[in-house]
A = this chain, B = another copy of it.
């Protein structure tokens, strides 16, 4: 039996994302007990689930400790047939697969096998859209609606992955894609600027603050310029934002005079709207009607999704549609997980993962639930 691992990593600029398979049995040492024979393929079936975890890239040692504590790497290495000389391999994508390769070798004795980042994102998205029910949904006026994806009508679509930066990928089919655009105004910008402006201690705290905020305190609205009236001729209402943070040009107020809540709200709206607009313009270029937004910037956050959806709706005059994914943050990690098979690891047929239990539609959106599935080992 060749080396396998039941873990894959996506190491980005801000976050490390993990996707790993764990068997239903709680007793991690009883792997052999849980194996079931699958007659027609002659392979082994493991029942279990794909689980997810994330860590800050700055705290990569926490991630390494986690892997060690879970004995995840052992899953991939301690097979009877593996000689002591054989390398333990973990599939990894994102820039950190390069940056931290030596660290993983040193601390865990594993070799990070690098998977292309865009490739992994697309493979992850296609897997979710194909195999996991109630994965994709629209969000508008605080209403989410799950969408059943017709596989014959899925391609082409635009995949927008909002991590520290943003990648925009036109996906034409399984493995057929092109990174057509991107922007450096992304999740890292929200969190970086937000930290400097509010002294928040975490991304989630900053996001939480935005709930109570009012962007009109800091943003310059059309009405502020036009003395309270609309600019009707070009369809700009008095409440439209003319200039994000434009009211802060006033001499009368310093940073300390603004509420962190209002700052967070303005920042979130500025960045979400900007990403929505650039995404739409790229979808328009290629005649793509559906835009799937993913990445850990979103975190199932209602206002963020609402702003993006409204931006796409506004700029496209209703022609294009923003869609979101429940496992938004783990596309890259999932794609890396899928890649074991592709590279000669024929014994791990993750493309045959079977989603078993329907995910309840009204559960929390940002819980990144595990996915029940079977894993086929030849």
Contacts and interface: CB of A to CB of B under 8 A. Distances in A.
A13 B218 CA distance: 13
B247 A192 contact: yes
Given A196-B255, A233-B116, A246-B164, A227 B100 contact: yes
B184 A248 contact: no
A124 B187 CA distance: 39
Interface string A234-256: 10000011111111111100110
Interface stretch (A79-87, A276-284, A337-345): A276-284
Contacts of A165: 220, 241-243, 246
A172 to B, nearest CB: 16
A270 B274 CA distance: 12
A188 B282 contact: no
B227 A188 contact: no
A199 B254 CA distance: 8
A369 interface: no
Contacts of A195: 248-249
A220 B254 contact: no
Given A100-B227, A164-B242, A218-B192, A184 B249 contact: no
Number of copies: 2
B245 A188 contact: yes
Interface in A180-198: 181, 183-189, 191-193, 195-197
B234 A118 contact: yes
Given A95-B231, A118-B234, A225 B13 contact: yes
Contacts of A191: 246, 248-249
A273 interface: yes
A197 B255 CA distance: 8
Interface string A262-296: 01000000100110011001101100000000000
A96 interface: yes
A246 B13 contact: yes
A14 interface: yes
Contacts of A189: 243-246, 270
A227 B99 contact: yes
Contacts of A285: 281, 284-285
A193 B278 contact: no
A314 to B, nearest CB: 11
7 closest cross-chain pairs (CB), A and B: A99-B227, A188-B246, A188-B243, A95-B225, A192-B248, A192-B245, A95-B226
12 contacts: A12-B225, A96-B227, A99-B225, A184-B243, A184-B273, A188-B244, A188-B245, A189-B243, A196-B263, A197-B255, A277-B278, A281-B285
Interface of A: 12-14, 58, 94-96, 98-101, 116-118, 163-165, 179, 181, 183-189, 191-193, 195-197, 199, 203, 218-220, 222, 224-229, 231, 233-234, 240-251, 254-255, 258, 263, 270, 273-274, 277-278, 281-282, 284-285, 315
